[in-house]
Amino acid sequence: MTKRRKRFIFSGRHLFLNKSNSDVLSLVYVQIRKASKANFAGSFRYLPPFCLKLLALFLLPLIFLSAACKKGLEKSSATKFMMDTIVQIDATGRDRQKTGEVINSALALMQNIADRTDRYGREELSEIARINGKAGVTPVTVSTDVFFVIDFVLSQQYPEFDITLGPLTDLWNRCREERKLPGTGELQKAMRLTGKEKLSLAAQQETVYLEEKGMSIDLGALAKGWAVEEAGRFLAGDPNIICALVNGGGNIKVVGEKPDKTPWLIGIQDPRDLNGNLGVLKLSPGESVATSGDYQRYFEVDGSRYHHILLPETGWPSRRNISATAVTQNAFLADYYSTLFFLLPPAESLSMMENIPEVEAVIVGSDLIVYISAGLKDKFVKNEKSKWLYRQE
Amino acid sequence: MKKANGFIGKNDLYIAGLILLLSLLSFIPALANWEAAGGRVFVAAQETELFSVRLAQLKQGNVFTQSFASAAGPITFEFDPEKGVRVIGASCPDKICMHMSYINKPRQMIVCIPGKIYAAIEAPGTEGELDAISR
pLDDT confidence of residue A233: 97
pLDDT of residue A1: 41
Q: Would A224 be classed as within a structural domain?
A: no
A324 in any annotated domain: yes
Phi, psi (rounded to 5 degrees) for A141:
-75, 130
Residue-range domain boundaries for chain B: 1-36, 38-122
Summarised one tens digit per residue, pLDDT across range A172-229 is 999 988 889 999 999 999 999 999 999 999 999 999 999 999 999 999 999 999 999 9
* Element housing A269 (H / E): strand A264-270
Structural domain contains residue A270: yes
B116 vs A contacts (CB less than 8 Å): 81
B12 in A contact zone (CB under 8 Å): yes
State how beta strands A321-328 and A199-202 pair.
unpaired
- What's the CA gap between A220 and A165, in Å, rounded? 10
Q: Does A392 fall in a domain?
A: yes
Q: End of a domain among A30, A51, A71?
A: A71
CA separation for the pair A199, A217 (Å, rounded): 9
Q: What is the pLDDT of residues B83-131, one digit of tens each?
A: 889 999 998 877 888 887 888 877 788 888 888 899 988 876 655 578 9
B4 touches chain A (CB under 8 A): yes
Helix axes A223-236, A96-117, angle to 10 degrees: 150
Mean pLDDT of the region B52-56: 87
Domain boundary among A210, A239, A254: A210
* Pick from A253, A254, A255, A282: nearest CA to A267: A282
CA distance A316 to A307: 9
Q: Residue A34, exposed/middle/buried by CB under 10 A (0-12, 13-18, 19+)? A: exposed
Q: Do A24 and A51 form a contact (C-beta atoms < 8 A)?
A: no
CA distance A322 to A295: 8
Contact A268 B30 (CB under 8 A): no
- pLDDT, tens digit, 9 for 90 and up, residues B27-43: 554 444 333 346 889 99
Q: Which residue has the higher pLDDT, A227 or A19?
A: A227
**Quick check: is A34 in a domain?**
yes
Put simply, whether B101 touches A (Cβ < 8 Å) is yes
Structural domain includes residue A151:
yes
The answer on A281 and A200 residing in a single domain is: no
Check: CB of residue A13 under 8 Å from CB of residue A33.
yes
* Cβ count near A370 (within 10 Å): 26
CATH code: domain of residue A385: 3.10.520.10
Check if the beta carbon of residue B103 is closer than 8 Å to that of residue B84: yes
Residues in Cβ contact with A321 at an 8 Å cutoff, skipping those fewer than 6 apart: A294, A341, A342, A343, A346, A363, A364, A365, A366
Q: Check CB contact under 8 Å for A281 and B134.
A: yes
Q: Are the CB atoms for B90 and B72 separated by under 8 Å?
A: yes
Torsion angle in degrees (nearest 10) through CA of A378, A379, A383, A389 = -70
Considering only the beta carbons, identify the residue of A64, A245, A296 that sits closest to B131: A245
Query: Is a pLDDT exceeding 80 seen at residue B12?
Result: no
**Using CA atoms, how far apart are residues A392 and A325, in angstroms rounded to an integer?**
14
Q: Is the CB of B8 less than 8 angstroms away from the CB of A52? A: yes
Integer CA distances (angstroms), A14 to A19, A191, A244, A337, B7, in order = 14, 87, 47, 65, 13
- Which candidate from A81, A177, A258 shows the least CB-CB separation from B93? A177
Give the model's pLDDT for residue A121.
93
DSSP state of A367: T
DSSP B73: B
In this prediction, residue B23 carries a pLDDT of 67
Model pTM score: 0.77
Strand partners, B76: B67, B89
User: Distance between the two ends of chain B, CA-based, in angstroms?
Assistant: 68
Q: In angstroms, what separates the C-alpha of A265 from chain B's closest C-alpha?
A: 5
Asked if A64's CB is within 8 angstroms of B26's CB, the reply is yes
Q: Which residues pair with B86 in a beta bridge?
A: B78
- Are B91 and A225 spatial neighbours (Cβ–Cβ below 8 Å)? no
Query: Which of A193, A210, A227 is the last residue in one of the domains?
Result: A210
Q: Compute the nearest-CA separation of A325 from chain B (Å).
A: 8
- Shortest Cα–Cα distance, B77 to chain A (Å): 16
Q: B36 in contact with A at a CB cutoff of 8 Å?
A: no
CA distance A359 to B33: 41
Nearest CA in chain A to B15: A56
Is residue A10 within a helix (H) or strand (E), and if so which, with residue range? helix A2-10
Least confident of A16-25, A43-52, A102-111: A16-25
A80 and B46 in contact by Cβ < 8 A?
yes
Q: What is the ipTM of this complex?
A: 0.76
**Does the beta-carbon distance from B130 to A52 stay under 8 Å?**
no
Quick check: A351 pLDDT over 60? yes
Is the minimum CB–CB distance between B10 and chain A shorter than 8 Å? no
- Residue B85 to chain A, least CA–CA distance (Å): 12
The answer to whether residue A52 sits within a structural domain is: yes
Residue of A nearest to B86 (CA): A275
Is residue A299 very low, low, confident or very high in pLDDT (cuts 50, 70, 90)?
Answer: confident
Nearest residue of chain B to residue A334 (CA atoms): B134
| Most B CBs within 10 Å, among A11, A52, A284, to test the B interface | A52
Chain B residue with the nearest C-alpha to that of A48: B7
Number of domains in chain A: 3
In CATH terms, B38-122 corresponds, of 3.40.50.300, 2.60.320.10, 2.70.70.10, 2.60.40.10, to: 2.60.320.10
Whole domain around residue A42: which residue ranges? 2-71
